[in-house]
Amino acid sequence: MTYETLELTLDDRGVATVTLNRPEKRNALSAQMMDDLTDVARTVGASEKTRAIVLTGAGTVFCGGGDLNWMKAQITADRDTRAKEAGRIAGMLKALNEMPTPLIGRIQGDAMGGGVGLACICDVAIAADHARFGLTETRLGLIPATIGPYVIARMGEGKARRVFMSSRVFGAAEAERLDIIAAHVPADDLDATVAAEVAPYLSVAPRAVGAAKAMARSLGPVIDDATIDATVARLAATWEGDEAMHGLEAFLTKTKPRWAAKD
């Protein structure tokens, strides 16, 4: 099985490694990458032969968030297209979150915007010490909409509000305190630490693991179709606003948006 934006390997233990493979674009979430990740969740992630999935990124960045050109295209799109594209990323997150296979995040570099969302849908995420994190959407005139339910479920409202709206970038130690990641380790120790998280899943019953994961989700904050549909509507509505158009244009042209602090 091959993907345009991902590298997928599956070893003889049933451990899959999924690598976001757009390093030249900071592994930004393009429409194709969203579709590819959704397919992985529905195929590899739904198979009892897969004991665990490790999610990581190629290059120095784990995931830089949503692809800016993809987001900019939504500014000039009609409402139905905006809703469809917002639904694309929401569907990807839902599929990854609900697949029965354990998902272990190997955060080898920075995670911004949607990258934080990916970390938060992992059952456990381990980051390299140097990794930085940020919910940077408001800097662009956007909001962390479709990732919001998963971020809040992982961090809790109180912790999330420290970083949910400010676009402040913070380090791995703070990401651990905020519960985005379970631990941060020196880069040289990352593989061994991730392997230690994978190892227990090689000795337990796959269907029981999936059932236990589904029960844990059912006992946590409700992320149902109504919740997801509401986030899709919020994202589509934000794309219609003048702040999003101005913010994305400023970013792409490397100029300061009007709300940026003066030097």
DSSP sequence for 209-250:
HHHHHHHHHHHSS---HHHHHHHHHHHHHHHTSHHHHHHHHH
Is 196 part of a structural domain of the chain?
A: no
Q: For residues 80 and 157, give the distance between their C-alpha atoms in angstroms, rounded to a whole number.
A: 31
Residue 69 in any domain: the answer is: yes
- Look at the chain and report how many structural domains it folds into: 1
Residue with tokens 């905006």: 82
pTM beyond 0.95, yes or no:
yes
We report the CATH number of the domain holding residue 86 as 3.90.226.10
Across the chain, which distance is largest between two alpha carbons, in Å? Answer: 58
The answer to whether position 197 is within a domain reads no
Domain residues for the domain of 140 are 1-188+205-263
Question: pLDDT digits over 113-123, tens only?
Answer: 999 999 999 99
Residue 200 lies in a domain: no
pLDDT, one tens digit per residue, over 123-146 is 999 999 999 999 999 999 999 999
Residue 193 domain-assigned (yes or no) = no
User: Which amino acid appears at position 25 of this protein?
Assistant: K
B/e letters for 183-203, b = 16+ CB within 10 Å, e = fewer, are ebbeeeebeebbeebbeebee
Q: Categorize the per-residue pLDDT at 79 as very low, low, confident or very high, splitting at 50, 70 and 90.
A: confident
| 107, 136, 164, 179 alpha-carbon torsion, rounded to 10° | 10
Report percent pLDDT > 70 for the chain: 100
Q: Does a structural domain hold residue 1?
A: yes
Q: Which token pair is 122? A: 């992992």
Residue 180 lies in a domain: yes
199: in domain: no
CA-to-CA distance for 100 and 95, rounded, in angstroms? 10
